[in-house]
Structure 1
């Protein structure tokens, strides 16, 4: 469930903070900085969830008074924007990726997927109004380069990047929830499945639910769990890229083998 929205801070203050156009110094002359504050805030969100994040909680982690933070960060809204911009800077952006545009988009998708697993609180932030910081823009620039020069219009390039990152957002949720369930309950997905599967076999009537019984049994035997989010992610990504290839092929007027490069 979304609990926060990006872009809620004062625009002038947020952009000044994101681009570090004005770095204030603690009145107490300490070594506190925007970077230390943001890193502490990310650590709180990673460990305790976004619901635990507050200026007071960050100050406690840093061992300073809450009001001290305000000499560097105007408020929680601006802080959240810089947190987002900071973690978006973690995605790897190699210059050379094999496989042409498909390989580049796949690499981008997997990097974004891994980012959600490292920082599950990202799923709790609505970013339809993204923080317009240097890392966000650099990430967007890199992702656009994956499909630059393959025959798409500018709007189609933007739509493809949005489609891929939006897919990852949805696919990451079950993966994050699976990891959190294992951590919070002390039971792995495999242990949960082995505890429930024998009882399900007794009550599941193949005559009433023929497809659920057949397909569910096959999947359960394969995954040894109710599902496999990582495998589902890869399957969906391949199908997504297949669909994009149809668009690229139509724009190029060429057979499939001719448009996988670029």
Structure 2
């Protein structure tokens, strides 16, 4: 499932925020403006994080975005730590439920991986707050975990193997998304791969000895021509996902690890 690496806040308050709703306004509307709710705070926080990164999210900044006093936010959420937990779970809750019972396990895991990859790329700040050691214990995180487990349910795998498959899938997707986000950031800064190579190549060719690195020369040239770049995030994701699923297929055929 999606996992949170955010510092620990108040566990009881976090559970209340995650599972207790948040659409009911506590503060009264003013001048025809909608009342302040947790939903509005989270929506504003996600918008700021998407545009400027998680560091830009502060209670003061959100108060300015929402046109309220900073202290009024604390009526709804104790602080940024708890807010980030809710932001992460709300983002995960936008994933499709995956109503694909007629599809095979490979198709279901492929769809889940693509959806998660696209979500992480759309919200790069999530990559800084997901970790394999802590589950997101809200409805969004649990729904994602449930969907992924359903993909491998009834295949003869022990429960531990089912969880391990999902953990492996999530770890791979997060790594692939991080590479894609990094590549996109370089492109946004004007560092186009082809232009970078044109500026570096003349200097590289002066010092590089192809006879010393024959395989790197041959294979690197082939990959570069195919991708028109040194690296293709999309290709890496698709290739890696296919090989990962090949391994899951072999695990299924073998009846799992026996829960070891």
* TM-score above 0.5, yes or no: yes
1:35-88 per-residue CA deviation (whole Å, 9 max, x = no partner) reads 110010001111001121211111121121111111111111110010000110
How many pairs were matched up? 248
Instruction: Give the aligned partner of residue 137 of structure 2.
Output: 132
Change (3 A) 1:12 1:22: farther
Instruction: Give the aligned partner of residue 14 of structure 1.
Output: 14
**Residues 1:116 and 2:120 are matched in the alignment:** yes
Q: Is the 8 A contact 1:24 1:71 kept in 2?
A: no
1:205-248 per-residue CA deviation (whole Å, 9 max, x = no partner) reads 10122222111111111111120011011111111111111110
Deviation, 1:98, is 6.7
Q: 1:46 aligns with which of 50, 62, 65?
A: 50
Instruction: Give the aligned partner of residue 77 of structure 2.
Output: 73
Of residues 122-131 and 166-175 in structure 1, the stretch that sits farther from structure 2 once superposed is 122-131
Instruction: Give the aligned partner of residue 194 of structure 2.
Output: 190
**Residues 1:238 and 2:242 are matched in the alignment:** yes
Change (3 A) 1:21 1:83: closer
Q: Is the 8 A contact 2:97 2:143 kept in 1?
A: no
Change (3 A) 1:104 1:172: same
Q: Structure 2 regions of 5+ residues with no counterpart?
A: none
Deviation, 1:202, is 4.0
Instruction: Give the aligned partner of residue 171 of structure 1.
Output: 176
Of residues 15-24 and 106-115 in structure 1, the stretch that sits farther from structure 2 once superposed is 15-24
Q: For 1:26-65, what aligned pairs fall within 5 Å after superposition? A: 26-30=26-30, 31-65=35-69
State the TM-score, normalizing by the size of structure 1. Answer: 0.87
- Tell me, in whole angstroms, the C-alpha distance in 1 between the residues paired with 2:22 and 2:182: 39
**Residues 1:206 and 2:210 are matched in the alignment:** yes
Of residues 159-168 and 122-131 in structure 1, the stretch that sits farther from structure 2 once superposed is 122-131
Change (3 A) 1:199 1:15: same
SS of the aligned residue for 1:251 comes to: coil
Instruction: Give the aligned partner of residue 260 of structure 1.
Output: none
Q: Is the 8 A contact 1:113 1:169 kept in 2?
A: yes
- Tell me, in whole angstroms, the C-alpha distance in 1 between the residues paired with 2:194 and 2:96: 31
